[in-house]
Amino acid sequence: MPTTCVVGILWGDEGKGKVIDYLAADTDFVVRFGGGHNAGHTLVLPTGKLVLHLIPSGIVHAHTVNVIGNGVVVDPVHLCGEIDKLRQRGLRVDLGRNLLLSERAHVIVDAHRRQDQWAEGLRGSGKIGTTGRGIGPAYADRCARIGLRLGDLIRPDRLRAALHGLALQKNAWFAPAGLPALDVEAMFGELAAAGERLRPGIVDAGAVLRDAHAAGKRILLEGAQGCLLDVEQGTYPFVTSSHASTGGAFSGTGLPPHPMRTVGIAKAYATRVGEGPFPTELKDELGNRLRIAGNEFGSTTGRPRRCGWFDTVAVRYSGAVSGVGELVLTNLDVLRGFPLQLCTAYRMPDGSSTTALPAFDLEAVQPQLVELPGFTEDLREVRRFEALPANARAYVQAIERHTGLPIRTVSVGPERQQVILR
């Protein structure tokens, strides 16, 4: 199948960047279909570490065309900065050639960022723990039909009219809320300037992708965040505001629904950044040890990630929602020296047991855990599944059994070659 979709299976940070990097070596197009610069995809290249927030991870491969699809929300000022940083690293970023931007993608403006942070402040102890980058308000304005699209930035009359429309609605309640009013002329200047820079890349990306698909080109759809952060299928309201599961891959690109290979990326343990229910969370010293061993600190915000046991209930749910056919298991090497436990069911508040992820009261479930023997060997140099310690193999096989998903790839370190293919 020429199309592959890669999605994070839980709450993001599963190591998608590395997997997309090695899959991109064999593909023609790499396409982001949702989220914005709340994402942080880390690649460890021979020249050092690279964190991408908005630009697809295929940019490091000379032959791939990288597309920011219509489902992404784009902060144009951030995007210009990210392009500059990549060029400073010696990477080719050629707008209109190896980087295309959907003219339909919605734009994040400063007011969105302020609104995001203001809303978090109001929520108090019920806060979501957003990245504060304006993602939610930008998607909200898209639905409210007052958003700006990238194509507006290169059409001065439309841009001015769209900004007036946005200011009319926002300024009606920004002042009473204590937020600064939108200054249309200042915004116009900044956005038009960014539009001029980005102009060669702003195209009908959906049409390009449909043509590529019709011509049998290999397309890699790069999910951002994770299935449990999906605004509809995730742990609402502690989610992001986009369709992070496979469902977003078609609406977020303009590609027609078609059969594809869907790969779910799962870390060998679970992590979550921000607030919200996390049934297998380890709030004790073991969780701390896991955070340090796995260097579990956010690549976008630097926040410490919450850590816990692998949750086969959640993974099975996300796999089903996203049509996942196989898992890539990352960070197995990090579990060296840890006792191993897997969550195989939840005990509900009424005492019953379930293997289905509930839409409500996830914060009240108790994980039912099975214990497995751990391993003490260093896995980072292992390149064959059979060469893994027996207990590490048994752990991988137990995950396969409980999730019903085959694991064809195991990652044992951040670098490209630290991978076991079965």
- Interface with ligand IMP, residue 233, by CB under 6 A: no
CB of 9 to ligand IMP, least distance (A): 12
- The partner residues of 42 in beta bridges, in order of sequence, read 51
Alpha-carbon gap, residue 11 to 230, rounded angstroms: 9
- Span from 81-89, 128-136, 163-171, 353-361 in contact with ligand IMP (CB under 6 A): 128-136
CB of 392 to ligand IMP, least distance (A): 26
Tokens encoding 268: 């060998």
Angle between helices 76-88 and 184-198 (to 10 degrees): 40
19, HSE (Cβ side, Cα atoms, 13 Å): 33
Q: How many residues bind ligand IMP (CB under 6 A)?
A: 20
Alpha-carbon gap, residue 182 to 383, rounded angstroms: 56
Exactly one of 37, 41, 106, 243 is catalytic; name it. Answer: 41
Q: Which is nearer to ligand IMP, 274 or 319 (CB)?
A: 274
- Interface with ligand IMP, residue 13, by CB under 6 A: yes
The question of whether 41 is a catalytic residue gets the answer yes
Alpha-carbon gap, residue 26 to 34, rounded angstroms: 22
**Residues 21-50 interacting with ligand IMP (rule: CB under 6 A):** 38-40
Alpha-carbon gap, residue 182 to 128, rounded angstroms: 25
Beta strand pairing call for 366-372 and 340-347: antiparallel
**Cα dist. 274→11, 38, 236, 280, 301 in Å?**
9, 12, 13, 15, 10
- Interface with ligand IMP, residue 278, by CB under 6 A: no
Residue nearest to ligand IMP (CB): 274
Report residue 63: phi and psi, to 5°: -95, -5
**Residues 188-227 interacting with ligand IMP (rule: CB under 6 A):** 224-225
- Interface with ligand IMP, residue 245, by CB under 6 A: no
Looking up tokens 């300037």, which residue turns up? 193
Q: Which is nearer to ligand IMP, 105 or 202 (CB)?
A: 105
Among 22, 51, 129, 193, binds ligand IMP (CB under 6 A): 129
Among 273, 290, 392, 396, binds ligand IMP (CB under 6 A): 273
- Interface with ligand IMP, residue 240, by CB under 6 A: yes
The question of whether 13 is a catalytic residue gets the answer yes
Report residue 267: phi and psi, to 5°: -80, 155
Question: Would you tell me which residues interact with ligand IMP (CB under 6 A)?
Answer: 11-13, 38-40, 128-131, 133, 135-136, 224-225, 229, 240-241, 273-274
Catalytic residues: 13, 41
